[in-house]
Each structure stands twice: as C-alpha cells, then as structure tokens.
Structure 1
C-alpha cells in the first residue's frame, strides 16, 4: 500500500548573531507560515499520523505551531537529533525506523538536507521555480512513497505537490477548519482557559495572583486552550508554566468571560485550582512575574480583569459545591 511523506522546512528564523544556531528562535512570520500550513493540511484532509521534528528550536516550534493549527495534539511530535545538521543517509535511517502502521509521515527539519532528500527520492527530476528555491522556509513537499519505509531508493517516490505558505490565505478561517469568518490568528487562539489558584490558611481562603508577562498588573494563570487537551488540563499546564504551581483543577467551570484580542473576541473558561505544590524560584521558569497570596477581597480588588472579580468573590461557595 502506498504511503505519503510530507517534507516541511521550518518557518523563518531569527538570524544567527551569537553563534548558537541550534537555539535560533522562529520569527512571527515563521510562526504564521507554519500555522497556515497546518490549516491547509486540515482543510485538504491530509494531516500526518506521525510527525518527526528536528529538536532545534526553530524546527520544533514550527512543528508545534503547524500541529496545533491543524487541530492535533502537539505532544505527539517525536524529536530526532538526526534531523539537525546530518546527511541524507541519516534522514533515510530516520524514515526506515518509522512504525509500520504509519501511512502519512511528516519530517520537519532544515535545508540543505531536506532538499537533498526530496531530490533523491524523486530521482533528481524536480523542475526549479523561478527563484531557484525548491523548499523555502515554511514550504512543504508532498510525496507518494513505496509501501515500505525501509526501501527508499533513488527515484522511488512521486511528487504530488510543493506548497508555499505565502501562496496560502493570510488570515485563518473561524471556526476551523473551513469557517467563513477570517481572523488574524488560528481559530484555537480564541478559546482560552484560566485557573484561580487557592489554598486555606488558618481557616482563611487565599488566592494567588501573578504578575502579567510585562509585570504591569496582576492576573491569574491563563492561556490558549491547547488542541488535544481538555480546558482543565490546558489551564493546569498554564498554572505550572506561569505560576510555578501544581494542584487539582475543579471539575466544573467557575465562570467565563470574553475580551477583545487579535481583531476578534476571545472566550475564557475559568476554573478553580486547589494548590498542593509551589515550586521554588530555582525551578520556576517565569520568576520574573512574581506571585503572592491574597485574601479574597484583596485579590478581587487587585486583579486587572473586572469580569474576574465576581468569580473570585464567589470562590468559597463554588468550592463547597464542586467538591461534593
């Protein structure tokens, strides 16, 4: 049975100014290009069932952005060091080790070796476009492969298409994947989840607030609802990353609100979180934010988002109902 290989070159990255090529970050343009490609795969119903990425930052983030934009769980991405600064034989070895039951595999990596792989599989028979670039950044080649990942010889594949991100629509359909409304960001950006972290101290209910990313106001952990995760799990992940805490998230929603961003309205589901562990500053990645425990009234008065205040004030009665 024929298989397919999707060869995706990472999105545009920041130039190498300090000699650390491995950690070069992806640019905003590179992120959007990767996301457009993910939406395109979803719309065309050609989503991969196995994604292998170079672990270099610009490649791995490209793979994550693409994966989420096509509605898939980015934690399923496999990283392989051989996709970074290795030769053609290394890439063929990576493909040979693919699980037998995978029908459509995606490689996310770097030039020039991705272009070398494509030319090898196609027997060198690929006409160059006018700009001479077969795989520019955030471009994808779709190739029909032999039935066995271990038998990939010279000229053993057929080209179906090469797609460039700049030939795809600049805006994203809402709802995904084919909604008529067009937005500035992928549809999943507009669904978010948050937690109000709490604990009991001397019979007093306390709430943790954290500093915003720019440290100019106080907020609760909040982020985009990650595709493939429940709203609670996604909020729990944000709490760990932003506040350095672990705990139990409520089964039911405490409330919800909307706020404007990215040219539209984001809907936020809010849950309560009973904190059981606070990471020391040495293990907390976002220590620049700051965090503090406050009484209910103090937290309600200090938090920036006014629609969160009644939720904080009703936290005590909500907890009594949720734990029953």
Structure 2
C-alpha cells in the first residue's frame, strides 16, 4: 500500500432554510464537526496533499473548515460536480484523475456515495455500529490504497479507521494542536487583522467606514486571519468583502487591540490601507451595510471601537507628514 485516501462526509446541514438541496448550508454544529476532524488530522500528522470536494454548499464549506484548521490554503481545494449525488463509478473516476504525486487525498462528499465507495474498496460488507450508520455526518474514513488509481477494483483498498467528529473533544487546542489549553473555536479564530482604508481627495485625507453586519455601528473591515495568508493579505481580503475596497496595505501596524469573544481574548492587528479601487455599489456583495468616506475627525466621532480612535488620529498624522515631505 503506497497511498492513502481520506473520505469525509459533510457536516450536519441546516434544513430550516427553504433552499434547493445543492445550496443547503451547514449548521454551526456541522462547521464545528468539520473543524474537529481537521484538528484530528493535524494531530495525527495526516494532512492531505490534495483535496477534492463536491461543490454543494454543505460539502465545500466542510472542506474549507477542515483545511483551514490544518493551516492549508482553502483556495486550492478542487471542486468536482461529479462527487455530488455520485455513484461509485463517478467517484472512482474522480480518484483516477487525482495527481500521482498526491500520496494522501482527501475527498469531501455525500452519502450514499461515500459509504458505497468505502465498501467497494474494502471489497466486502462492513459491519455497522449500533446506530446503523457507517459514515454519518462529519465522519472520516481512512483507507490504505495501492499506488495506481487508474483502474481501482473491488477490494483494492483497506479500511484502517473511521473517526466521528462526535467522538472528539468539543473544544479546540490553543495556541496550536499540541497545546493543553482548550477553547471554543479553532486557534486561528483568535488571531485577527483589520485595515483602516483611506484616500487623498482634494489634498485632504478621508477614511472609509462601513456599517457592521447588523448595521448597528460604524466600523472598519476586520476578520479572522486566514491561516495561509499574512495578516496584511488577510485584512485586504476582508476589506474587499466587507467594504468593497482594494488598495495597498502598509507593512507597519498602526497598533493592536483585544476584545472578548468565543470564551477567550481575540487579538487584532490594525494596518493602514491606501485605497486605489472602490467596487461599484451594484457589484459589492455586502452593499446592504452601507459605506461612507469621512474626514478623520468625523470618522473618530462615528467609529464604535474606542481603541481605533487614536489609530485613525495616528494615520491622519502619518498622511500629513508624508505630504509635507513631497
């Protein structure tokens, strides 16, 4: 046996929303389940070389959640429609196309396809647990495989283990997968970054504020830092999504602040970002928030987070100093 196949069924989906099956989202429980499986893989040094997922909402989000916990780039996940509502033949074809260089492949999909594929590779019926479920939601099957996947036959694999997220610790190790401290969310959730977007208009600086997701407060873009990106790159990604703005993020932080969430303290690094492109209103996905360019003084008055007020003031001084040198 030279290669390994990891089969992960999507997490628990949310049936409360009236949407078509393909677009059905995950429940929070499903997201946490995917993350627990990711931590388990990391702790056992079983990170995949190649990840392929059904593009159905509940599957691709499961794949992303699991991959991020392992510190891998979620944007490299391959989405393959054949995995959705798949027969064994379809799944075998997807595996046949996996690169030979990938020694450990993670496939994220659905039942009954994953269970049928597991039994096909094992070459026999697999005794069911007491609850009658071989691969329930957020469950990982680990299968030893031959080197050549071009023409897989029944019995070519060996089922090594089945791991259910429900059997794993409900909390997550912090600050890394070897730690004893446990928190409510994966470690990377507590490491965040933010930008204060600005521009020069008619020779004067302006700060871009957006409303919070529930439109209660004025804020600047902020979010959980993606594990595979720098803090600056992650903050720029948040700026594009939350404020519809692109620009150059400064290399030096304006400062940091902390706040309590998910049962612990989150740390936020804040960077300046000189805007060079504003996404048109009709193309900005989060336009329901609203956004506004303001003078630094007005921005300081409106911004909710008190720790950001001196940072906006500091940024305004930096801009003025830069202007005076020209």
- What is the TM-score normalised by the length of structure 1? 0.97
Equivalent in the alignment of 1:302: 302
How many residue pairs were aligned? 324
With structure 2 as the length reference, what TM-score do the two structures score?
0.96
State the alpha-carbon separation in 2 of the partners of residues 5 and 310 from structure 1: 52
Q: State the 1:129 CA deviation.
A: 0.4
Segments of structure 2 that go 5 or more residues without pairing to the other structure are none
Match of 1:116 in 2: 116
Could you tell me how far 1:254 is from its partner in structure 2?
Answer: 1.4
2:251 is the counterpart of 1:246: no
Q: Is the alpha carbon distance of 1:319 and 1:103 closer, same or farther for their aligned partners in structure 2, counting shifts above 3 Å?
A: farther
Structure 2 distance, partners of 1:104, 1:311, is 46
SS where residue 72 of structure 1 aligns?
Answer: coil
Matches for 1:181-260 after TM superposition, within 5 Å: 181-260=181-260
Regions of 4+ moved over 6 Å: 320-324
Change (3 A) 1:4 1:321: farther
Asked if the contact 2:205/2:319 (under 8 Å) is kept, the reply is: no
Give the Cα–Cα distance (whole angstroms) in 2 for the partners of residues 130 and 311 of structure 1: 58
- The match for 1:20 is 20
Unaligned stretches of 5+ residues in structure 1: none
Checking the alignment, whether the CA contact within 8 Å between 1:254 and 1:318 is kept in structure 2 is: no
Partner of residue 318, structure 1: 318
Superposition map of 1:272-283 within 5 A: 272-283=272-283
- Asked if residue 131 in structure 1 is aligned to residue 127 in structure 2, the reply is no
> In structure 1, what is the Cα distance between the partners aligned to 2:116 and 2:247?
48
Q: Using the alignment, how far apart are the partners of 1:247 and 1:281 within structure 2? A: 17
Residue 46 (structure 1) aligned with residue 38 (structure 2): no
Q: 2:101 aligns to what?
A: 101
> In angstroms, what is the RMSD of aligned CA positions?
1.5
Q: Give 1:16 shift.
A: 7.2
Taking a change above 3 Å as real, the CA distance of residues 249 and 320 of structure 1, as seen in their structure-2 partners, is: farther
Post-superposition CA distance 1:41-87 (Å, at most 9, x none) = 00110011100000000000000001111121111111000011121
Going from structure 1 to structure 2, the CA distance change for 1:165 and 1:321 (only over 3 Å counts) comes to farther
